[in-house]
Structure 1
Amino acid sequence: DTSKASPLPRDLVALSIEFCYIIDYLGEVGSPNDLSYNLLNNIEEILGAPPVIRIGGDTGDAAQYNPHNNQTITNVFKPNNLEAVNVTFNSGLFQVMNENVPENQTCIFTLNLGQDNVQYPLEEVKGVEAHLNESKLYAYELGNEPDIYEYTGHRTEPWNVQTYAQQQVDWLSQIKREINNTSHGFQLGALAVDPVDQGNFSLAEINSLGVPEIVGNVKSESDHTYPYSNCPEANTPSISLHALMSHLHTLEYFSQWTPSIAAATSINASFVMGETGSVSCHGAPNISNTLGAALWEMDYVLHAATLGMRRVHFHNGSPFWYSMWQPVEVNGTAPRVWPT
């Protein structure tokens, strides 16, 4: 029955970029990354819209705005860690986001919930509202994967969907007072755990606790997922390109998001997969960066659209195997576009 069909959104395929690597991808003030700019611009010319960029990931919860910082972004890494443990940025980041991207580029900006100090996201929002062109911001997102904050060390007990919901309401109420443009709304959720294992820390429960109604102007709700994992502690099936490319597995795996999509729709918001990729913990070589993975991505996003997902944000970081492209030199390898 084609009467219920709707056209594919031009920005169905979207991006998520690890906060600490955003300058690698977009370039510095006055010096755009030519590879990234050309790729984004080509997509806009072909499809009529550039991919929405979510700036976030784990390091979104380690980021602090300091207008007096002497670099656009200063990252502090621990040895052998691909994600910064501390990220400090100044207003130059917003200049980069204004000038180093195609004219119609928009972004979702992740605010720091992880470090449990409301002054951090308040200062970030003040910076965005003062320096980022109004048309560039699609939404704010407060926190990255808050449902696993006890595991990641961002919170101690008790931390559950009720305490999360209360903090979202309290903080976003303060944040809204700093927002000049009423079109700047919010994306809720960014939950890490797959729906079959979520329990009540779910979009449906967040909605039932009244968060969207109290906060207002919720444009979208999101979950995150990676069908396979390369994390040391992961208890998942062995990774293979053959398994990743299984159409049957893709259909079965993503069917669990039907309730999440329904939850977002029930509050007149879009459901988006806000961060995703083939294999968690930065991908797997010779799997995540292959043509086979690109074919899986096509199968994934088209099936996601039939389920009712509005966008699918594939995650990227300069040294990550599942990135769509490598914007700068990494370990002696030149910038490149991966098959994905």
Structure 2
Amino acid sequence: MSWCMQGTYFFMLVAPIVSAIEVTIPLAAPSGAASVMGNLVSLSIEQDRWVDWAGSTEPNTFFNNVLDNLVQITNTPPFLRIGADSEDHTDFSYDIEYEENMFSASTAIMPYPEAYSTIVGQGFYDIISHLPQGTQVHWGVNLREHNLTAVYLETVALINAFSSPAVVEKGITLKFIEVGNEADYYHDDGSRSKNIWNVQEYVSEWEEFAYNVSMTAKLSKTSYTKLIGAAFAGSSHNNLNGFSPQAIFNLGILKSPAGQLIETISQHLYSGSFCSGGGAVLQDLMTKSYIRGNISVFNPDIEATFANGLNYILGETNSMSCHGTPNVSNTAGAALWLLDYSLYATQVGISRIHFHQGVGYKYNLIQPVTLDYSIIDGSPIGSLAPHIQPPYYAAIIVAEAIGTSGTTQAVEIVIDENNVSGYAFYEHGTLSKAVLINTIAYFAGAGARNSTHIDFSFTGSGYTAKEMSVKTLKIRYASDTTNLTWGGQTYETSDGRVSGPLTVDTLPVSSGVDLQETEAVLVTFL
């Protein structure tokens, strides 16, 4: 083979492949388009280290900054759920100012475990005043320990905090109280007998404790604060003998005095598990069909919830359970997963998604305090200052797509392509933006980086834009844990604020866009 032929052969191996597709977008919001609020991407925070997130004597500036970034984009703070596993290990004491925790030993699988005991005082609740103005809160109280006195004291402290002048002045509100976390697991964690714990026992117990909470908090059908229903880890769906919204509805929970105060059903969803270690494949997490399959199994639950006139949220979710999988949940690829996952969820009726966070968890969007040992394997690392992780960029992109109009609707764009997802956004019923995501994981050493060229066509009547701005989430490799940029800017700063010059391309709509592997763009039609 001659040198010339060798050179030609080499070029054929490394030259990127550019495929081309055409996507059709309605100019006006289709009937039934999902309404999306600015707090679509919200947070669930492990309760045991709430003081680290909020700050004790003064606010945690870094955490407030990264929340405020989202407020500035949407005029809406993220909704915070405070609870999860440690809500069911929390007790109140008048002798404690903030909190005292007892933790299991750190392991390579779980370097930052949840507390198995958390004792809190009034100050633990009062620091809710440190949150951004207008924040709505969903707070969990302890059902697992079956202690009415403990739940009574927690509820009194909650109501005292949310009625304090500092909290009222900032418009921070207690929207939901959650009684118990993942009660469907109580027979597995040893808190209930496997022989007798079932959904019937759960409903009976929940009604007793939730009634106590509602009376203590003076809740009513007209009060702002309501109760959350379910908060199950999984679902038996239409099997009424298991734990599911359908099962508790069938048992009449909504007719009970406390059940009449349920406004929203919350369920929990993870896309896999790292509880026993073992590998997870980043490409699998990112794959379009995998995302849709994980969410769509809850369609019967959502339909049953709507049939009872209630809202449906994912009150706790993230990539892999037990705090995430190393080099998967903390990567740039996970940012694209979170982006597609969040937007697809709106298409099946999920109105809000709370991504679970804990200090040192691998799947965090935000690490709110200095870390002393690795989130990957628990090894000492010295001192790692507060910082955002790649999935935070997805929250920013979702916020920018939704904007401030308060009228935004979203529809999935029909794309007959396994590795490209797209969503169109409408304000006041008129097409305004589109998000496009290439979910092929591009890794170092993979050779040429392929791309998909996307041309736009439009249907229906309405204004057809001639120009568009294109803002790109630039990612070097799917496995990267740092150095992403959004429109040329970074949020990987010491204070969590955006830095760097903004780079946005303005192009004719007729030119279409090129979307590389492991990349996302926000198109704004001008």
Assess if the C-alpha contact under 8 Å between 2:235 and 2:242 holds in 1: no
Q: Equivalent residue for 1:35?
A: 62
1:73 matched to 2:99? The reply is: yes
The worse-fitting range, judged by mean Cα deviation, of 133-142 and 280-289 is 133-142
Q: Which residue of 2 aligns with 1:9?
A: 37
Paired with 1:195 and 1:295, the residues of 2 have a C-alpha distance of 29
Q: Give the Å deviation of 1:15.
A: 0.5
Match of 1:94 in 2: 125
1:148 has 2:197 as partner: no
Counterpart in the other structure of 1:222: 266
Query: Bigger CA drift: 115-124 or 316-325?
Result: 115-124
Report if the CA contact (8 A) 1:129-1:180 is conserved: no
Give the counterpart letter for 1:206 in structure 2.
I
Q: Could you tell me which residue of structure 2 aligns to residue 172 of structure 1?
A: 210
Partner of 1:159: 197
Structure 1 253/64 Cα, relative in aligned 2: closer, same or farther at 3 Å? same
Deviation at residue 108 of structure 1 after TM alignment: 0.7
Cα deviation 1:53-108 (Å, max 9, x = unaligned): 11111101000122321x3111111222611111011111222102x111101111
In 1, are the aligned partners of 2:235 and 2:244 still within 8 Å (CA)? no
Structure 1 residue 117 corresponds to structure 2 residue 155: no
Percent identical among aligned pairs is 30
Question: 1:291 matched to which residue of 2?
Answer: 332
Q: Distance in 1 between matches of 2:238 and 2:99?
A: 36
Among candidates 145, 153, 158, match of residue 128 of structure 1: 158
Q: Under a length normalisation based on structure 1, what TM-score does the superposition of the two structures give?
A: 0.94
Paired residue type of 2:187: E
Larger strand percent = 2
Find out whether 1:209 has 2:247 as its counterpart.
no
Checking the alignment, whether the CA contact within 8 Å between 1:194 and 1:225 is kept in structure 2 is no
**Matched residue type, 1:203:** P
Contact in 1 for aligned 2:143/2:151 (Cα 8 Å): yes
Between 1:4-13 and 1:140-149, the stretch displaced more is 4-13
Choose 1 or 2 for highest CA Rg: 2
Moved more, 224-233 or 154-163: 224-233
TM-score under structure 2 length normalisation? 0.61
- Tell me if structure 2 keeps the 8 A contact 1:276–1:313: yes
- Distance in 1, Cα, partners of 2:272 & 2:34: 30
Shift of 1:233: 8.0
Per the alignment, residue 267 of structure 1 pairs with 308
Supply the distance in 1 between the matched residues of 2:288 and 2:248 (Cα, whole angstroms): 32
Using the TM superposition, give the Cα deviation of residue 7 of structure 1 relative to its aligned residue in structure 2, in angstroms. 2.5
Tell me, in whole angstroms, the C-alpha distance in 2 between the residues paired with 1:262 and 1:196.
11
Count of aligned positions: 334
- State the secondary structure of the residue aligned to 1:294: helix
Structure of higher RCO (CA pairs closer than 8 Å, 6+ residues apart): 2
Please tell me the residue identity of whatever aligns with 1:142.
Answer: V
Tell me how far apart the structure 2 counterparts of residues 64 and 4 of structure 1 sit (CA, whole Å).
Answer: 45
SS in 2 for 1:280: coil
1:108 corresponds to: 138
Distance 1:195 1:311 in 2: 22
Q: Which amino acid aligns with 2:182?
A: E
Q: Which whole-Å CA distance do the structure 2 matches of 1:209 and 1:183 have between them?
A: 26
Structure 2: how far apart are the matches of 1:230 and 1:143?
23
Distance in 1 (alpha carbons) for counterparts of 2:62 and 2:161 = 25
Q: CA deviation at 1:313?
A: 0.6
Aligned counterparts of 2:248 and 2:87: Cα–Cα separation in 1: 21
Quote the Cα distance in structure 2 between the aligned partners of 1:324 and 1:299: 15
Does structure 1 retain, via aligned residues, the 8 Å contact 2:370–2:385? yes
Asked if residue 186 in structure 1 is aligned to residue 214 in structure 2, the reply is no
Q: Residues of 2 paired with 1:129 and 1:49: CA distance?
A: 23
Amino acid at match of 1:43: L
- 1:121 aligned counterpart, secondary structure: helix
Query: C-alpha separation between the residues in 2 aligned to 1:184 and 1:87?
Result: 25
- With 188-197 and 307-316 compared, the bigger mean Cα shift is at 188-197
SS in 1 for 2:86: helix
Cα deviation digits, residues 285-314 of structure 1 (max 9, x gap): 211111110110111111110000011110
Task: Give SS of 2:176's match.
Answer: strand
Q: Which residue of 2 aligns with 1:231?
A: 275
Q: Which residue of the other structure, out of 324, 336, 339, is the alignment partner of 2:387?
A: 336
Name 1:241's counterpart in structure 2. 282
Aligned match for 1:55, one of 69, 74, 82? 82
1:16 and 1:2 map into 2 onto residues whose CA distance is 32
DSSP-derived class of the 1:276 partner: strand
SS of residue matched to 1:28: coil
Deviation at 1:197, TM superposition (A): 10
AA of the residue aligned to 1:335:
P
CA displacement 1:103-123 (0-9 Å, x = unmatched):
101111101001111211111
Question: What secondary structure is seen at the aligned counterpart in 2 of 1:286?
Answer: coil
User: How far apart are the structure 1 equivalents of 2:282 and 2:361?
Assistant: 17
Q: Cα RMSD over matched residues?
A: 1.8
- Which structure features the higher share of helix residues? 1
Cα deviation for residue 6 of structure 1 reads 3.2
- 1:245·1:296 contact (CA, 8 Å) conserved in 2? yes
Structure 1 unaligned segments of length 5 or more: list them. none
**Deviation sequence 1:235-259 (CA, Å, 0-9, x none):** xxx5111000000111122111111
Q: d(CA) in 2 for partners of 1:6 and 1:314?
A: 20
Instruction: Give distance in 2, aligned partners of 1:112 and 1:144.
Output: 8
Secondary structure class of the residue paired with 1:46: helix
Q: CA deviation at 1:194?
A: 4.5
